[in-house]
Chains A and B, each alone.
Chain A
Amino acid sequence: MAETQEIIKLENAHKDYRMGESVIHAVESIDLNIKKGDFIAIVGPSGSGKSTIMNLVGALDLASKGDIFLDGQNIENLSESELAQIRGRKVGFIFQTFNLIPTLTALENVMLPMMFQDIGREERRERAEKLLKDVGLEKRTNHLPAELSGGERQRVAIARALVNNPEVILADEPTGNLDTKTGRQVLEILKNLNKQGKTVIMVTHDLEMAREAKHIIRLRDGKIEK
């Protein structure tokens, strides 16, 4: 039973970047167990490998060495389309720069991840509308990202991350481009999601915010500080 509680597991994970002759060890020998329903904050100086770990966990990138398990499945040996399925269904990404598609309205942006899954038209709209309502944007559904404030854009992005009902939310500096007040609002949403049972991993520079998480992981030079 204890095994099933572990949603994310990294075993001796390495990620190297080759830059011509030299090799950059972005992260090295990471062992990490994250339980279902946990709320983890990852902190550390710039370049310490925070984003790299998020990318590995979210199947955006493959480790150079070691294994990464998501929900008990080793994602290091999967095909491209299987990885795409994992990204689409098991995890929801929230980025510092929001990464909304500028030509799509808020509603369409939230519906986008469902286009790559087998979900009927009606249901897509219903789900997207409900999620936008949950983040308080029911009046902004037909606005383009350029017509929204930073905080509103990040809330659209959160709705988008949730739309396929993933178990894990990966937020890489979600408040980095927001002022303190809107940043807090976003943090509150993430805490709420965690209360509803989602596993949340958040990268942040803000120690005060990090303290709101259940656990903090400190990174330095690609390694976890004990």
Chain B
Amino acid sequence: MKDYFFLAFNNLKRRKLRSWLTMLGIFIGIAAVVALISLGQGLQDYITEQFEMMGANKLIVMPGRGMGMMTADKLTSKDLNVIEKTKGVDMATAVVYSVSLIKFKDEVKSIFVIGLPTDKTADIFKEMGGFEAEKGRDLKEGERDKVVIGYLLAKDNGFFEKAVSLRDKLVIKEKEFRVVGIMKQIGNPGDDSQVYIPIDTAKEILDKKDEIDAVYVQTKDGFVPEQVAENLEKQLRKSRNEKEGEETFNIQTFEKLLETFQKVFSVVQGVLVGIAAISLLVGGVGIMNTMYTAVLERTKEIGTMKAVGAKNSDILLIFLFESGLLGLIGGLIGIVIGVGLGKGAEYIARMALGVSLFRASFPLWLIFGALVFSFVIGSASGILPAIQAAKLKPVDALRYE
């Protein structure tokens, strides 16, 4: 074995430039695959983590037909009452939100304002957001003109030019608020530049009257969230007088969301990796081509080796090792480049997008799998040329000029 390896390596060294060019095909492919999978895996980990932070026993009821769509449909406190009474619901809390102008010192910007209940039902929302006050405290019951700010507001140039501190004054829609708490970092810039005020005040200044933008629901222990979601749908349909399939509200469970996400995501990733894999196929053809050339070039050497006692299987293995080695070395370089690309993309995501919790992930199976895979591609591409070399008749090979 060691000898075949030695002979194979020796031959690759002889044709350095050609060996490098041949490996190019493999390492581009492997680099792309490793980078894509590591980023995909990282993204999936990130999102799953975010979902898990929110908790699986939570539901969100929102107006409109589907998540994220602009809608004129509304939820009201009547709906909240229905929801609270539905079977399987432990607690429900209403939130309102809107984009509004905010002034700090002399700077005026638009910001996402969230109106939160001040009683203990607000915990549902907080748990789902996965956040807590890092400095100061949460909003208290009965408070009207206090505000909790997102992490970035407390940083110089994070949102305003100057950092906002506890006890500073902020003006939202001409009403003055005092900062009582600063959220700890959530990890994405959108969520980290919001402000939270008591819901009653929010309804007043944001002109919401009886409107609710979302109801966050916590299910009772022992109930399946999906089942509770169904109950809610039925009850709300009845009270809102809507037909099945024509609802003007929608309910999201995190399980469903996560599942959908993962499904869509695996397809996208599969397609991307598939495209990268095509370049591996091309790399394999490159190796095959190189090996056929090598067999022709070395026909006389093959004859000589047979004349000194090499069996067909010896010749076969020497050539297979050679092509396998082309794949393996190509794969090694590809992995290094791929890890570099993945880390680079992670860095860019952090710097440019501020997504600090996102990490490119390089599980062992990825590295090991990429290595084995590149060796297999190399060897597989070398099979036909190697068989051709092994089958050469000694006299014919020796006569070859």
Interface pair A84/B14, CB less than 8 Å apart: no
Interface pair B311/A80, CB less than 8 Å apart: yes
Answer yes or no: B99 CB below 8 A from chain A CBs.
no
> Chain B nearest CB: distance from A120 CB in Å?
12
Answer yes or no: A55 CB below 8 A from chain B CBs.
yes
Interface pair A60/B395, CB less than 8 Å apart: yes
Interface pair B14/A99, CB less than 8 Å apart: no
Which of B58-66, B299-307, B335-343 is near enough to bind chain A? B299-307
> Chain A nearest CB: distance from B1 CB in Å?
11
Interface pair A113/B395, CB less than 8 Å apart: no
Give A122-147 as 1s and 0s: 1 = Cβ < 8 Å from B's Cβ atoms: 00000000000000000000000000
- CA–CA, A81 and B308, complex, Å: 12
Q: Considering only CB atoms, which chain B residue lies closest to A164 in the complex?
A: B309
Which of A40-48, A87-95, A178-186, A205-213 is near enough to bind chain B? A87-95
Q: Considering only CB atoms, which chain A residue lies closest to B4 in the complex?
A: A115
Answer yes or no: B13 CB below 8 A from chain A CBs.
yes
Point out the residues of chain A lying under 8 angstroms from B310, CB to CB.
84, 88, 116
- CA–CA, A116 and B313, complex, Å: 10
Q: Which of B11, B14, B312, B395 contacts A55 (CB 8 A)?
A: B395
Q: Considering only CB atoms, which chain A residue lies closest to B2 in the complex?
A: A121
- CA–CA, A164 and B308, complex, Å: 9
> Chain B nearest CB: distance from A208 CB in Å?
27
Answer yes or no: B91 CB below 8 A from chain A CBs.
no
Known: A61-B394, A61-B395. A104 touches B307 (CB 8 A): no
Point out the residues of chain A lying under 8 angstroms from B314, CB to CB.
84, 116
Point out the residues of chain B lying under 8 angstroms from A61, CB to CB.
393-395
Answer yes or no: A153 CB below 8 A from chain B CBs.
no
Answer yes or no: A5 CB below 8 A from chain B CBs.
no
How many chain B residues touch A (Cβ–Cβ < 8 Å)? Answer: 24
Give B10-28 as 1s and 0s: 1 = Cβ < 8 Å from A's Cβ atoms: 1101100000000000000
Interface pair A89/B309, CB less than 8 Å apart: yes
How many chain A residues touch B (Cβ–Cβ < 8 Å)? Answer: 26
Point out the residues of chain B lying under 8 angstroms from A112, CB to CB.
305, 308
Point out the residues of chain A lying under 8 angstroms from B394, CB to CB.
55, 60-61, 87
> Chain B nearest CB: distance from A103 CB in Å?
5
Point out the residues of chain A lying under 8 angstroms from B309, CB to CB.
84-85, 87-89, 113, 116-117, 164
- CA–CA, A80 and B313, complex, Å: 10
Interface pair A60/B307, CB less than 8 Å apart: yes
Answer yes or no: A160 CB below 8 A from chain B CBs.
yes
- CA–CA, A2 and B305, complex, Å: 34
Known: A101-B301, A103-B13. A113 touches B308 (CB 8 A): yes
Answer yes or no: A222 CB below 8 A from chain B CBs.
no
Answer yes or no: A49 CB below 8 A from chain B CBs.
no
Interface pair B311/A103, CB less than 8 Å apart: no
Answer yes or no: A151 CB below 8 A from chain B CBs.
no
Answer yes or no: B106 CB below 8 A from chain A CBs.
no
> Chain B nearest CB: distance from A96 CB in Å?
11
Answer yes or no: A58 CB below 8 A from chain B CBs.
yes
Interface pair B14/A93, CB less than 8 Å apart: no
- CA–CA, A113 and B3, complex, Å: 11
Interface pair A99/B306, CB less than 8 Å apart: no
Which residues 145-192 of A sit at the B interface, judged by CB distance below 8 A?
160, 164
Known: A80-B312, A84-B312, A104-B10. A99 touches B307 (CB 8 A): yes
14 A-B pairs in the complex with CB atoms less than 8 angstroms apart: A60-B395, A80-B311, A81-B312, A84-B310, A84-B314, A88-B310, A89-B309, A99-B300, A99-B301, A99-B303, A99-B307, A103-B11, A104-B10, A113-B309
Q: Which residues of A contact B (CB under 8 A)?
A: 55, 58, 60-61, 80-81, 84-85, 87-89, 93, 95, 99-104, 112-113, 115-117, 160, 164
Q: Which residues of B contact A (CB under 8 A)?
A: 3, 7, 10-11, 13-14, 300-301, 303-314, 393-395, 398
Q: A85-B309, A89-B309 are in contact. List 7 more A-B contacts (CB 8 A).
A: A81-B313, A88-B309, A99-B303, A101-B304, A103-B14, A104-B10, A112-B305
